[in-house]
């Protein structure tokens, strides 16, 4: 049960890490700015913001313009969920939480490198 909760938290953290990686280099607000389709500017609704699930339910495409959305979005959310699940599974105590935070930090750096290397 703890692993499942950690994975769900990891999905949300992964979504935030993706937002950080995309917005910080462009000088966009990390908190408060609405998420939009990078192709048409469509403001994403709540069902379109559910980590991992919305990308798969929409088959990787924007609901408004039909443009293909990068695999980066579900990949970073899934990676953060796996980091959380594995770390909490290895140690549900403080060490597991610290390992999880370190893993997410490493994931943020990796995401920044990926975003810097290509256009999403």
What residues have CB less than 8 Å from 25, skipping those under 6 apart? 112, 115, 116
Least distance (Å) from Zn ion to the CB of residue 37? 3
Smallest distance, Å, CB 43 to Zn ion?
A: 10
Closest distance to Zn ion from the beta carbon of 26 (Å): 18
Complex with Zn ion: residue 64 or 114, whichever CB lies closer: 64
Report the residue number, 21 or 37, with the smaller CB distance to Zn ion: 37
**Is the separation of the CB atoms in 55 and 73 below 8 Å?**
yes
Q: Which residues bind Zn ion (CB under 5 A)?
A: 37, 39-40, 42, 62, 64-65, 67
Report the C-alpha gap between 49 and 80 in whole angstroms: 16
Helix (H, G, I), strand (E, B) or coil at 62: coil
């Amino acid at each position: 049960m703890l692993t499942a909760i950690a994975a769900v938290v990891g999905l949300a953290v992964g979504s935030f890490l993706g937002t950080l990686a995309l917005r910080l280099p462009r000088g966009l607000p990390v908190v408060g700015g609405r998420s939009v389709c990078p192709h048409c500017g469509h403001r994403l609704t709540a069902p379109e913001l559910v980590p991992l699930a919305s990308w798969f339910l929409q088959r990787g495409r924007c609901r408004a313009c039909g443009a293909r959305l990068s695999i980066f979005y579900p990949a970073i959310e899934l990676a953060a969920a796996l980091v959380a699940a594995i770390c909490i599974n290895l140690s549900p105590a403080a060490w597991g939480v610290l390992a999880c935070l370190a893993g997410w930090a490493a994931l943020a750096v990796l995401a920044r490198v990926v975003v810097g290397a290509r256009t999403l």
